[in-house]
Structures are given as structure tokens and as C-alpha cells.
Amino acid sequence: MPVTSGAVAPAFMAEIAARVDARMSTLLAPDLERWSAVDPDLAPPLESLHRVLLAGGKRLRPVFCYWAFVGMGGDPADTRVVDAGAALELLHTFAVIHDDVMDASIRRHGTETIHTEFARMHEQAGWRGEARRFGEGVAILMGDLAFVYSEMLLRGAPPEVWEVFDQLRLEVNVGQYLDLLGTARANASPALARRICRYKSAKYTIERPLHLGAAMWAPQRLHEVAPAFTLYGLPLGEAFQLRDDILGTFGDPDVTGKEVGDDLREGKPTLLYALARQRATGEAADLLARRYGSTDLTDGEVEAMQRVFEATEARSDVEATIEQLVDECLAAASSDQLPITDDARQALTGLARFVAGRNY
């Protein structure tokens, strides 16, 4: 299936996102009031956590959880699926706050990252110690707090739900370590890049949220239906991350909310980089070997690397891989093995086209 660039988000995504955002706000608002009364100095970090939670994002994890739940027969108005979606989004917030610290990212969804905000606060106030360490410490604590809130929302859920949630949390941490290691070693191979895609993003973004929705509605059927959801979720999850990698290198920062070239400055072990590194020769190979992963990479060097990714056909090959993965997931969505309603099948088909072709 040719992937259409700039694909429009299905209309139902906004409605699901609004319900999840409202649930997260009602969870955090009383705690903000409570802890601010204990000590006014507790208000700024909690307000920043709330800001990051509601700063935007695609809310894909709650959306996939919702359609597995509803597609198998769950009531769309059931608050349990909203709680599960909010739990996924809070866990995602935990992960991205910590990820921003690891990557030294300045912006996320067009807003200042927590560690950057509090480092600036420390510096402006002239406090003791190192501003960077203070900012990172605050961010780690707020990420941990989001992790606690995510668990609170699943309290009382069946053991099968916790089984999925536990595996999801293990997988994203394992994937993150592989990402860190690949960055440090600067020796990404296509096989490693795709393994990181699977564990850092594919399973955590699409496959496990689908499993979570199924387990929330029909826990006794989870092991029966999980393989069919996996056939859809894993290839689409990998396509999602590969699209993210392309946007991180070629995307418009006004649309993505991130600086173009961030992945290049961080030295991310992406498939895009791994293919280009294998194929580049001469000055192009030297540029990647010497400067990929340099935090002081200039805009001119970013543009030069973009040209290398184009000239080595790394970008076109990644685009072709995305199309192949989407074809796999669409075949799974249309299969009778996937035990969902026609409405859910149509929704998952629309989501596949959006995930693969989005420009943010």
C-alpha cells in the first residue's frame, strides 16, 4: 500500500484523547491542591507535570487500547477503558520525561522539557550546586510520579491486565537500554536498529495497548486473541517508529515540536543511519564516522547528512520498509482471526494509514 505523506488523523482520535485528558486532569488536580497546601514549593513541579501531560501528543496508546476493548464487545462509555488509556498515557509521560533527560532534549511537543525548565529556574535563582543536576533530578522525580499515577488507575484490574502492563513496562525499559547502548557504541546495524524499534516502541505503542484493551474487556480470552492483535500491532508499531526516525531527521520542527536533526546530534542507532553507514563511501562515510552523534553538529552538517541518507537510498529503503510493514498489518486487520467488530476493523485500518503517513 503506498503510504500517503501527511495522513490526517481519524476523527475519533480527538474524542478519545479528550476523555483521557479529562481523566488525567481529575486525577492530578486534587493532588496539586493537596501538596500545595503542605508546601507551596511543591506546586511548580506538579504544575509542570500537568503541563507536560496535556501539552499534546497523538494519544495513540489509549486509542489502540480503546478499539481492542470496544471491538471485542466493550461499551464505549465504560470508564474502565478510559482509566486504562490514561494509565498508558501516564506511563508514556514517565518514559518521555526520563528519555528527555537521557537525550538532553530541550523541547517536547513544542514546549520546554521539565529538566530544562528547572535547570533554568535554579540558574536564575542563583541556588547552590549545579543547575543541570537539579533540573534532571526534578525531571526524574516527576517521571517517577507519573509512573505511580499510572499504577493507581489500574488498581483492581484483573491479573491478566497486570500481566500485559508488566510486560509492557519491562519491554520499554529493555528497549531503552538497547537504544542507549547503540548510541554509546556508535555501531548500529540494521538488525539492532529494528530490534530497538520493536522493544522501545512497537510493542509499547501498539501491540501491548491492544492486548491491554482486550484483557480489560475479556481477560479469560486474552491468550486466545493476543496473537491476532500481535500480527496487526507489531508491524504497525515498527512502521510507527521508522516514521518517527524519518521525521526526526527530515521533519518540520514547527509541525513535529522537536528540533530537526536531534536524532543526528544524539547519535541515535536508527535504521536510517545504519543503512547509510553501511553504504556511504569517501567523504560521506567520513562525515558519518566523525560527526554523527556530535552535540555541536551545525545546521550545515545536518543538511549534509540528510543528503547522505538520500544519496545512499537509506531514506527510500526505510520508506519501502514502512510500506511493507503497513501491508502486513492491513492484512492482519482484514483477517477473520482478529475477533473484532466491523467498526473496529475499519478504525484499525484508518489508524494504520495515519500512523504510517503522519508528518508529526
The pLDDT of 205-223, averaged and rounded, is 97
Start-to-end Cα distance in the chain: 20
pLDDT of residue 49: 96
Cβ–Cβ under 8 Å, residues 80 and 216: yes
Q: Which CATH superfamily is domain 12-357 in?
A: Farnesyl Diphosphate Synthase (1.10.600.10)
pLDDT in tens, 79-137: 999 999 999 999 999 999 999 999 888 988 878 999 999 999 999 999 999 999 999 99
Sign of CA dihedral 140, 54, 348, 355: negative
* pLDDT band (50, 70, 90) for residue 53: very high
> Would the pLDDT of 329 be above 80?
yes
> Nine-digit cell at 157?
484490574
Q: Select from 210, 216, 314 the least CA-distant residue to 264.
A: 314
CB atoms within 10 A of CB 75: 11
The pLDDT of 307-336, averaged and rounded, is 97
> Nine-digit cell at 185?
557504541
Every domain of the chain and the residues it spans: 12-357
pLDDT of residue 111: 85
Which three-class secondary structure state does DSSP give residue 112?
Answer: strand
* pLDDT band (50, 70, 90) for residue 232: very high
Question: What's the pTM?
Answer: 0.94
pLDDT of residue 256: 76
Residue corresponding to grid cell 556530535: 294
pLDDT of residue 123: 97
pLDDT of residue 282: 98
pLDDT of residue 288: 96
Question: Burial letters for 116-154: b for 16+ Cβ neighbours within 10 Å, e otherwise?
Answer: bbbbebbeeeeeeeebbebbbbbbbebbebbbebbeebb
pLDDT of residue 259: 77
Strands 107-108, 111-112: pairing kind: antiparallel
Q: How buried is residue 229: exposed, middle or buried, by Cβ count under 10 Å (0-12/13-18/19+)?
A: buried
Instruction: List CB contacts of 217: < 8 A, sequence separation 6 or more.
Output: 68, 69, 72, 73, 74, 81
> Would the pLDDT of 56 be above 80?
no
48-57, 289-298, 318-327, 345-354: which range is least confident on average? 48-57
How far is C-alpha 339 from the geometric centre of its chain's CA atoms?
A: 26
151-155, 250-254, 333-337: which range is least confident on average? 250-254
Report, in this order, helix, strand and coil percent for the chain, each rounded to 5.
75, 0, 20
- Distance, in Å, from the CA atom of 16 to the CA atom of 81, rounded to the nearest integer, reads 10
pLDDT of residue 2: 64
pLDDT in tens, 161-207: 999 999 999 999 999 999 999 999 987 899 999 999 999 999 999 99
4-18, 229-243, 290-304: which range is least confident on average? 4-18
Which three-class secondary structure state does DSSP give residue 107?
Answer: strand
Cβ–Cβ under 8 Å, residues 188 and 182: yes
pLDDT of residue 194: 95
Using CA atoms, how far residue 46 sits from 49, 111, 124, 138, in Å, is 5, 16, 20, 10
The DSSP call for residue 274 is H
CB atoms within 10 A of CB 33: 11
pLDDT in tens, 144-155: 999 999 999 999
CB atoms within 10 A of CB 24: 25
* pLDDT band (50, 70, 90) for residue 5: low
Cβ–Cβ under 8 Å, residues 249 and 260: yes
Task: Tell me phi and psi for residue 31, to 5 degrees.
Answer: -70, -35
Instruction: List CB contacts of 32: < 8 A, sequence separation 6 or more.
Output: 43, 46, 47, 50
pLDDT of residue 348: 98
pLDDT of residue 48: 96
Mean pLDDT of the chain: 95
pLDDT of residue 4: 65
